[in-house]
């Protein structure tokens, strides 16, 4: 499990855990991002925003937000530190 | 017989809802890409089959739980104002996510028509939707539209009127939340069945919302007799279910809804294989625009271009307006003289009203151009990205990435800037952004700088102007940090935003948006400034017989009273005090007031100023004008968006800060120069 903020561009990942309060979790859930959702990392700027796609929607997550979402890899290379 | 019905348009941000609204009603309104740009409650009207339909355009929302002010507006309306019918406008190219809101509407038992908008994008991708199947599963009429091309609008009108005038059917729609959850729903329903509820929500919806932990529904339950008991019971159910499932109930409920929708979409849509995804181009642009290295330079270049454009194009037009009002004032006062009107009347009309309003309208070109460029950046989809580019920087200020847009707009005029904070989700971010917004030097303050910089720093005007804008921004950073530590201890709300695909901005939409914001400024010129100018004129003319705008006039006495306070800042004379007092009405008035008080026109004013100010005190005066007290229309806007307490703080801190900065600058600079 790695935070979304550390995933490389192009990775296909599954949301495993969201470390946040219920308000934020529920906000994300309304947008279709909850434990079990499969998303693709469209762009990841180091220490900057992470852009993910869920189906046709593109979401931008600030760095702070991306740190709170833990994911597991479905495809694409695992970083060496893993 | 003519019948009237009231309907609401609801949907996710960027579902093309505003486009549908415009086409349904023919009204003028903005189509934006900045999620949640529809802030005001907008109404329009159309007739169909002798039925008059009032349409309310609701702000975009993702669900029925209110996060931002926009979403709260939508939720309140749907829950408490019970429109006859709700049109759920959805972006068909992102069907599942958009249907999530529809599922919630259905659970709430709203009388619905489903509008599958942006069908063209979906069809271009080779996907077809079986509307009959969708309609029969959901139990509501389904209409396909391409609103920005006007396709399907008439069918939508027909569906609206037919559905709204029919007898409303019983709610048959139901999402199966699995055995365990369903069992709890049933027990809780049994418990709540006999309660006379304050609002006629469907029982099942109420129970599901309680299980989801909806804060507003929970609060409402608290007020019922036996509310405590019900809350306790709900809590027990939650704990029981969560222990059983091993994760939280909210996620479980949302997941079931999405599960249902996933099945629904599979059943009702067909996709041809081998068609490219639509967002390829958008993704490619994003990889450049949001690039680690290029992101910030691109952003800065765009902002620089914006201001270049605003001033290069705006200033010549501003000069024409200036000339026009100069001529008008002369012509009118000559006209009054020829028909034998009294001198005071011609003075009031030409010196007071015409030159006062003229001095404000001079900024209209700059302001309109700034709003035009901002509208283009918004409609193209770039503005949403800019919030991300600025996110880290804004975090350093203790603000939110999205706060950046209201601050940028503030450079044009603080009023729309303050209003633009409505898209911010957390109250704290909103209030901080509102509080520091007046430090963004709005275009109304520009003429003061131009006048003084021209008179005292003619060789370095650009530099002086830049230093003032920069000072405002630096102070905003410091103040934001300070207020954050004093008033709000928590973390900045994390940023999550949908990024709409890049689109070519449409000329009409861009101009409508520009006009909506710019007209706020015009309205100010027409009301408060005219009143302010007349007040100055009156105070300068009384008591009767006194020399106009002399120290013996009421205004002179008022200024003399405050002047000693300004002494340490280097401009302790009554004219400056009066100009600052009236500047509170609107900052533009400062220049006009000085002109009136020194009894000279624009050209003579420079010479007059040179007698009273030194370069150091002139700069201190500019600093004061930059910082002290927002103008009255801005104060009124702050009050409307917050409360008196925050408004009081905004007025108090800016006054104090302005004075302190001006005094420190003057004392230090005098010591060195």
Residues of A in contact with B122 (CB under 8 A): none
Smallest Cβ–Cβ distance between A45 and the set B94, B290, B425 belongs to: B290
CB A67 within 8 A of CB B392: no
Distances (CA, A) of B261 to B113, B264, B673: 17, 5, 73
Please check whether residue A12 lies inside any domain of the structure.
yes
Please check whether residue A70 lies inside any domain of the structure.
yes
Q: How many CB atoms lie within 10 A of CB A5?
A: 23
Q: What is the pLDDT of residue B521?
A: 66
Angle between helices B153-165 and B17-25 (to 10 degrees): 80
Q: What is the pLDDT of residue B401?
A: 78
Dist CA B362 CA B385 (whole Å): 33
Q: What is the pLDDT of residue B514?
A: 82
- Which tokens go with B541? 């003319």
B:372-391 residues touching chain A, CB 8 A cutoff:
384-385, 387-389, 391
Smallest Cβ–Cβ distance between A36 and the set B62, B255, B291 belongs to: B255
Q: Which residues contact B275 (CB under 8 A, 6 or more apart)?
A: B125, B126
Interchain contact, A49 vs B250, CB within 8 Å:
no
User: Tell me: the pLDDT tens digits for B112-132?
Assistant: 999 999 888 888 878 889 999
Please check whether residue A65 lies inside any domain of the structure.
yes
B393 touching A (Cβ < 8 Å): no
Domain ranges of chain B: 3-165, 179-271, 298-489+508-672
A73 touching B (Cβ < 8 Å): no
Please check whether residue A81 lies inside any domain of the structure.
no
B:567-586 residues touching chain A, CB 8 A cutoff:
none
* Spans of chain B, pLDDT less than 70: 1-2, 27-41, 66, 168-171, 195-199, 272-279, 351, 356, 359-360, 363, 423, 490-493, 520-521, 524-526, 528-529, 549, 599-603
Rg (CA), chain A: 11
Distances (CA, A) of B531 to B93, B265, B438, B537, B585: 52, 60, 22, 10, 9
- Which tokens go with B525? 């010129």
Reading across the β-sheet that carries A2-3, which strands appear in turn? A2-3, A69-75, A12-18, A38-44, A50-54, A57-61, B496-498
Interface test with B, best of A48, A52, A61, A67 (most B CBs within 10 A): A48
Dist CA B358 CA B325 (whole Å): 6
User: Tell me: the pLDDT tens digits for A46-77?
Assistant: 767 788 988 878 898 887 788 889 999 987 65
Q: What is the pLDDT of residue A76?
A: 62
* Phi then psi dihedrals of residue B150, to 5 deg: 75, 10
Please check whether residue A82 lies inside any domain of the structure.
no
CATH tag, B3-165 = 3.40.50.300
Q: What is the pLDDT of residue B195?
A: 66
Residues of A in contact with B65 (CB under 8 A): 26-27, 30
Question: Distance from B251 to chain A by nearest Cα, in Å?
Answer: 7
For B384, the enclosing helix (H) or strand (E) is helix B382-389
Interface test with B, best of A42, A64, A70 (most B CBs within 10 A): A64
Interchain contact, A53 vs B279, CB within 8 Å:
yes
User: Tell me: the pLDDT tens digits for B413-467?
Assistant: 788 788 778 767 777 888 999 999 999 988 788 888 888 888 888 888 888 888 9
H-type helices in B548-587, by residue range?
554-566, 574-583
B:409-468 residues touching chain A, CB 8 A cutoff:
425
A61 touching B (Cβ < 8 Å): yes
Question: Distance from B62 to chain A by nearest Cα, in Å?
Answer: 6
- The distance from CA B206 to its chain's CA centroid, rounded to whole angstroms, is 32
Interchain contact, B283 vs A42, CB within 8 Å:
yes
For residue A9, the enclosing domain spans: 2-75
CB B366 within 8 A of CB B318: yes
Please check whether residue A53 lies inside any domain of the structure.
yes
Interchain contact, B290 vs A57, CB within 8 Å:
no
Q: Which has the closest alpha carbon to B472: B663, B624, B587?
A: B624
How many domains is chain A partitioned into structurally?
A: 1
Question: Please, what's the b/e burial string for B548-567 (b: 16 or more CB within 10 A of its CB; e: otherwise)?
Answer: ebeeebebbebbbeebeebe
Dist CA B101 CA B383 (whole Å): 25
Q: How many CB atoms lie within 10 A of CB B341?
A: 13
- The distance from CA A26 to its chain's CA centroid, rounded to whole angstroms, is 15
**Angle at B509 (CA atoms; ends B503, B510), nearest 5 degrees:** 80
Q: Which has the closest alpha carbon to B335: B356, B322, B318, B354?
A: B354
Q: Which has the closest alpha carbon to B279: A14, A8, A75, A51?
A: A51
The CATH number of the domain where A29 resides is what? 2.30.30.90
Fold for B179-271, please state it: Helix Hairpins (1.10.287)
Bridge-based pairing state of the strands A69-75 and B269-271:
unpaired
User: Tell me: the pLDDT tens digits for B136-190?
Assistant: 889 899 999 998 788 899 999 999 999 888 876 666 788 888 888 898 888 888 8
**Angle at B318 (CA atoms; ends B317, B320), nearest 5 degrees:** 65
Smallest Cβ–Cβ distance between A56 and the set B278, B290, B388 belongs to: B278
For B54, the enclosing helix (H) or strand (E) is strand B51-57
Interchain contact, A60 vs B295, CB within 8 Å:
no
B:76-95 residues touching chain A, CB 8 A cutoff:
93-94
Chain A and chain B share a number of CB contacts under 8 A equal to 132
Helices H / strands E in chain B, number of each:
32, 9
């Amino acid at each position: 499990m790695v935070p979304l903020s550390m995933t490389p561009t192009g990775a296909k990942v599954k949301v495993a855990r969201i470390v946040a309060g219920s308000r934020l979790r529920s906000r994300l859930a309304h947008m279709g991002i909850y434990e079990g959702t499969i998303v693709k990392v469209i762009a990841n700027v180091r220490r900057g925003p992470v852009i993910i796609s869920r189906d046709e929607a593109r979401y931008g997550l600030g760095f702070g937000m991306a740190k709170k979402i833990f994911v597991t890899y479905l495809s694409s290379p695992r970083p060496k530190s893993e | 017989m003519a019948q009237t019905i009231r309907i609401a348009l609801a949907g996710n941000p960027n579902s093309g809802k505003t486009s549908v609204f415009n086409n349904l009603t023919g009204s003028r309104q903005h189509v934006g890409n900045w999620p949640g740009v529809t802030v005001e409650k907008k109404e329009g009207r159309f007739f169909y089959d002798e039925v008059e339909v009032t349409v309310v355009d609701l702000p975009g929302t993702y669900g029925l739980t209110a996060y931002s002010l926009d979403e709260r507006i939508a939720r309140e309306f749907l829950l408490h104002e019970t429109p006859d019918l709700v049109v759920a406008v959805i972006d068909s190219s992102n069907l599942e996510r958009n249907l999530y809101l529809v599922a919630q509407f259905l659970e709430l038992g709203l009388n619905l028509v489903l509008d599958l908008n942006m069908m063209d994008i979906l069809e271009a991708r080779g996907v077809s939707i079986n509307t009959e199947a969708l309609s029969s599963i959901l139990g509501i009429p389904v209409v396909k539209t391409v609103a920005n091309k006007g396709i399907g609008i008439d069918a939508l009108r027909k569906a609206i009127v037919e559905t709204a005038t029919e007898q409303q059917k019983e709610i048959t729609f139901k999402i199966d939340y699995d055995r365990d959850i369903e069992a709890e729903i049933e027990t809780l329903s049994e418990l709540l069945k006999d309660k006379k509820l304050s609002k006629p929500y469907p029982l099942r919806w109420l129970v599901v919302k309680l299980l989801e932990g909806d804060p507003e529904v929970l609060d409402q339950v608290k007020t019922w007799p036996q509310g405590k008991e019900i809350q306790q019971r709900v809590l027990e159910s939650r704990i029981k279910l969560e222990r059983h499932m091993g994760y939280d109930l909210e996620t479980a409920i949302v997941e079931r809804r999405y599960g249902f929708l996933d099945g629904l979409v599979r059943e009702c849509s067909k996709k041809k294989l081998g068609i490219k995804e639509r967002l390829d181009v958008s993704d490619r642009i994003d990889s450049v625009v949001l690039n680690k290295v290029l992101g910030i330079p691109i952003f800065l270049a765009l902002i620089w271009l914006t201001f270049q454009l605003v001033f290069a194009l705006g200033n010549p037009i501003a000069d024409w307006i200036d000339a026009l009002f100069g001529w008008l004032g002369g012509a009118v006062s000559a006209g009054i003289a020829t028909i034998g009107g009294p001198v005071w009347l011609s003075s009031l009309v030409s010196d007071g009203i015409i030159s006062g309003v003229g001095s404000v309208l001079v900024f209209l070109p700059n302001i309109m151009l700034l709003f035009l460029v901002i509208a283009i950046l918004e409609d193209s989809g770039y503005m949403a990205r800019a919030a991300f580019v600025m996110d880290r920087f804004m975090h350093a200020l203790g603000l939110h990435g999205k706060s950046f847009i209201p601050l940028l707009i503030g450079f044009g005029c603080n009023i729309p800037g303050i209003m633009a904070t409505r898209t911010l989700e957390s109250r704290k971010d909103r209030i901080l952004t509102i509080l520091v917004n007046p430090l963004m030097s709005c275009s109304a303050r520009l003429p003061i700088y131009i006048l003084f910089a021209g008179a005292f720093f003619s060789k370095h005007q650009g530099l002086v102007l830049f230093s003032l804008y920069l000072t405002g921004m630096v102070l905003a950073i410091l103040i934001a940090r300070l207020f954050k530590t004093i008033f709000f201890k928590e973390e900045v709300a994390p940023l999550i935003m949908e990024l709409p695909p890049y689109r070519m901005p449409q000329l009409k939409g861009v101009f409508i948006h520009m006009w909506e914001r710019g007209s706020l400024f015009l309205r100010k010129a027409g009301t408060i400034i005219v009143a302010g100018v007349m007040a100055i004129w009156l105070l300068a003319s009384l008591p009767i017989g006194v020399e106009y705008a002399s120290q013996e006039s009421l205004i002179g006495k008022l200024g003399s009273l405050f002047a000693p306070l300004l002494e340490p800042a280097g401009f302790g004379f009554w004219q400056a005090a009066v100009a600052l007092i009236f500047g509170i009405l609107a900052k533009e008035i400062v220049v006009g007031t000085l002109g009136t008080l020194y009894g000279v026109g624009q050209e003579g004013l420079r010479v007059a100023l040179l007698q009273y100010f030194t370069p150091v005190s002139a700069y201190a005066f500019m600093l004061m004008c930059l910082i002290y007290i927002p103008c009255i229309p801005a104060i009124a806007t702050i009050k409307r968006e917050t409360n008196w307490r925050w408004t009081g703080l905004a007025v108090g801190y800016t006054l104090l800060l302005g004075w302190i900065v001006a005094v420190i600058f003057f004392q230090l600079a005098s010591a060195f120069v």
